[in-house]
Structure formats: structure tokens, C-alpha cells
Amino acid sequence: MLKHTRPIIIDSTAGDMLSSPSSQSPISGMAAAEVRRAIILTYPGCFLGEAIELMELMTALNSDHVIHYVTRIYSLAGGRVDSPSSKLIHVDSLAVYGPVPIENDLLIIASGARSSGDPTGEISRWLQAVCPASKQIVALGSGVLQLAVAGLLDHRRVTIHSALAPFLTANFPLVEVKAVGALRVDGNLFTTNEHIDLRKLALLLVKDPPSLKRVQRPAKPVRQAGAAIVFHSAAFVSKGAIAHRILLWWLIHLDYDITMQSSADFLAMSERSFRRHFKSEVGYNPNLFLLLLRLELARQALLDSDLPIDKIARRGGLHDGQQLARMFRKFLGISPNQYRVVKGLGDLPQKDPLYGAVFDGRRTPCWLLKILGH
């Protein structure tokens, strides 16, 4: 068992948690040692225990006393934060809508229930501001979802609690999810599932934290710069094509929870074979294309009906209006309400090239009109 060489002290007036080399003063000796700034993000329904234990292990592993951790706790509204897993764990925190912490050595996002939401978008905005200035980012279990909702995991390799992996894959197709494996490291990003060995993670974090300069790199591109995005619409109007057959089936079952396995079952193919054939015919992987199709039909419904956005989202097979809003902002650069007001006229603020190669955000493409029988 590890011997904790220095206590973790929580300053209830500032939300600070300090590691101290002596019992006399929590900050004595800091001038002679390296000080690392850590922050822990909490949110409604999250579990504090793992995050605090991780910091304790990092402190204990630093047996040579050369590193001191100064940790601040953040929450949506600030003030006292309780952990639903234990009545004994509670801390004071700073609010995310206050001053944004910069040049952080470590950001830890606590694990929590999938239902924990961010209705105001404050947590997402805070993460978007803090993550680029953090040398190491740790998302414990379902804390990965907070990064995904903030749009910070596109083209990143992650793991997550195994029960949430299908949800993450279905709702964030640009994230590379691998539920197998307790820990996954992608650059400065550390993600875990429910079987994480916190001591192993602590060793990795203490051993060699990357410099801020190293981690401030552009996101991994989908393809070579300047390369064209290839989309083959002809596959959908060719009645013998896999793409044509599955598109008709998707349109009929759009309000259902369609998976790639159920799509392959309809075609009497293996899922692997279906994915390969579809990508070869269309130029897109089927999971991403289905998501873009749902978005396109929701876009049309916004102009053709007065239905509430939530109902349009559900009818299109999306979970709710919040998911539809996230997709609109990501792929069209505008909210569904704004789009409905301008009735799709004028130039969109921005258009993701993955969406723009298939749809133009204004009118239904000819190949889809033909499939729909117009």
C-alpha cells in the first residue's frame, strides 16, 4: 500500500486543494520545488471520489518532494459540491462562469451519470476555453461525454464506460471509440473506462507531463490538406447498389434507433462487409452518412412544418432538440431556430465540408428527391 507522504488540503474559501511537504504549512517549500496547477471539473451528478483519489496518488508517488500540486475545483454554479457516492465527500468550488484558468498542467473531468446535462452550455464553453491551455487532460469514465458535447473529441481516440460506448458512437460519429481497454492515451488526452487502475494513471501523469507547446497542435485532419472530399451520389439511384437498398430502408425506419448491425442484417451481410461496400460505393462511412441524412431531413422539416424542434428531432431519429441543435451548429454553423427564421436563405455562417460535399444546406439534392419520389 502506498504511504501518503503529504496530505491533500482543501481551502474552502478559494476552492483550492494543496499538496504539502510538511504538516506545518501547506505551501512551505514550494519556492524550491516545481509547482503544478491542476483543476478538477465537477457537474451535477458527478462522483468526486475518483478525481480526489487520483490527486492523492499523484502526491504519494512524488516521493522525492520535487513537485507540488495546487488544485482548484470548478462546478457549474460554484459553492459546495457533494458527491452522490459518499456523504463524506464535499468540497467548495469556483464557478465556471468566473475567470477562466489558464496554463494548467492538469485538467481532470470527473465521472458522472449520462443524464447529467449542460442546459445553459456553460460547461461546454468553459471546456472549450480551458482545454487548449491544459497540458494534460484526464476524462474519467463518463466524463468523456462532457468533452464530446463540447465538440473537443472529433478525430480523437478515446475509451469510456462500456455501457456508454454505444451512446457515444451513435451521437458523436467523428469520435473514435474503443470501449475495450481501461485506459486510452491520445496525445495529451487520457480517457478511462470503469476498470481503470488509478495508480497506473497517476504514474503516467507524474512521470513526464508534456509541455504546453507540444500539446497545442492542430486537430488530426480527416484527410490530407487540399484533398477533395469524394461523394458518389450515383450509388443511391442505382437500384442494384448496396447504398440504394439501404437508403430506402433507412428512410422508412428513420424514427427508429438504426444501428450498423441492424442495417447489415437487413442486407443479409456481415457488419464489416456492409461498412466496406457502402464506403466503396458512396465515399463515406455509413454511420456518418446516416447522421448527415438525419440532419438533412430535419433541416427540410424546419422549413416545411411548424412542428417544435424537439418533435422534429425525434421524428428524424435524433434523441432531442439539444442533439439537433449541436448538429446544426457543428455542420451548418447556425442554430435550428435561427435557420427557421431566415428560412434557409442567405449564406450560412460556415458549413462543415463533410456535410457540404453531400448537401448544400438550402435545397434537397436531386438524387434524394428522386429517391423520395418527387
The CATH code of the domain that includes 238 is 1.10.10.60
211 & 240 share domain: no
Look at residue 345 and tell me whether its pLDDT is greater than 90: no
Residue 104 DSSP SS3? strand
Q: Does an H or E element contain 303, and which?
A: helix 286-304
Read off the pLDDT band of 293 (50, 70, 90). Answer: very high
Does one domain contain both 43 and 132?
yes
3-state SS class at 277: helix
Q: Among 188, 215, 242, where does a domain finish?
A: 215
Amino acid at 365: P
Contact 109, 143 (CB under 8 A): yes
Is the domain of 242 the same as that of 195?
no
Of the candidates 76, 78, 58, 82, which has an alpha carbon nearest to the alpha carbon of residue 68? 58
In a domain, 146, yes or no: yes
Q: Does a structural domain hold residue 202?
A: yes
Determine, yes or no, domain membership for 329: yes
d(CA 320, CA 372): 24
Question: What letter would DSSP give residue 223?
Answer: S
- Whether residue 195 sits in one domain with residue 97: yes
Model confidence pLDDT, tens digit, residues 212-271: 444 444 334 344 333 456 788 888 877 778 999 999 999 998 888 889 999 999 999 899
Secondary structure tally for the chain: helices H, strands E: 16, 14
Q: Does residue 355 contact residue 361 with C-beta atoms inside 8 Å? A: yes
Is 226 contained in some domain? Answer: no
Is residue 19 domain-shared with residue 119, that is, in the same domain? Answer: yes
Those residues whose C-beta lies under 8 Å from the C-beta of residue 158, and which sit 6 or more positions away, are 139, 144, 168, 175, 176, 177, 178, 184, 186, 189, 191
Residues 169 and 292 in one domain: no
Residues 6+ apart with CB under 8 A from 134: 39, 104, 105, 106, 107, 188, 215
Beta-ladder partners of 109: 41, 139
pLDDT for the residue 59 = 80
Same domain membership, residue 274 and residue 238: yes
Residue type (1 letter), 193: N
**pTM confidence score:** 0.54
Q: What DSSP line would sit under 279-292, residue for residue?
A: HHHHSS-HHHHHHH
Burial of 266 (0-12, 13-18, 19+ CB in 10 A): middle
The identity of residue 157, as a single letter, is: R
Statement to judge: residues 209 and 238 lie in one domain: no
Mean pLDDT (the chain) is: 77
pLDDT tens string 182-208: 899 988 899 998 888 888 888 888 876
Instruction: Report d(CA 303, CA 362) in Å as an integer.
Output: 10
Give yes or no: residues 168 and 70 share one domain.
yes
CATH code of the domain covering residue 93: 3.40.50.880
Q: Are residues 173 and 321 in the same domain?
A: no
Per DSSP, the residues of 343-358 read: TT-S--S---HHHHTT
What pLDDT was estimated at residue 4?
35
Residue 229 falls inside a structural domain: no
> Where a domain ends, among 186, 215, 244?
215
Give the pLDDT confidence of 96-142 residue by residue, as tens digits: 777 777 778 899 998 876 545 566 678 888 888 888 888 899 999 88
Q: What is the pLDDT of residues 14-61, one digit of tens each?
A: 444 444 333 333 444 444 567 788 899 988 777 878 888 888 888 887
pLDDT at 159 over 60: yes
pLDDT score recorded for residue 207: 77
- Asked if residue 251 lies in contact with residue 372, where contact means CB atoms within 8 angstroms, the answer is yes
Q: How far is CA 357 from CA 228, 245, 295, in A?
A: 9, 21, 14
Statement to judge: residues 248 and 166 lie in one domain: no
Q: Which amino acid is at 47?
A: F
Query: How many domains, in total, are found in the chain?
Result: 2
How big is the CA angle at 291 (ends 237 and 226), to the nearest 5 degrees?
80
The sign of the torsion formed by the CA atoms of 122, 143, 63, 132 equals: negative
Boundary (domain end) residue, out of 148, 180, 215: 215
Does residue 168 share a domain with residue 52? yes
Give strand pairing partners of 104.
134
Tell me the residue range of the domain where 368 lies.
Answer: 234-372
Evaluate whether residue 225 is within a structural domain: no
Residue 224 lies in a domain: no
Provide the residue type at 107 as one letter: L
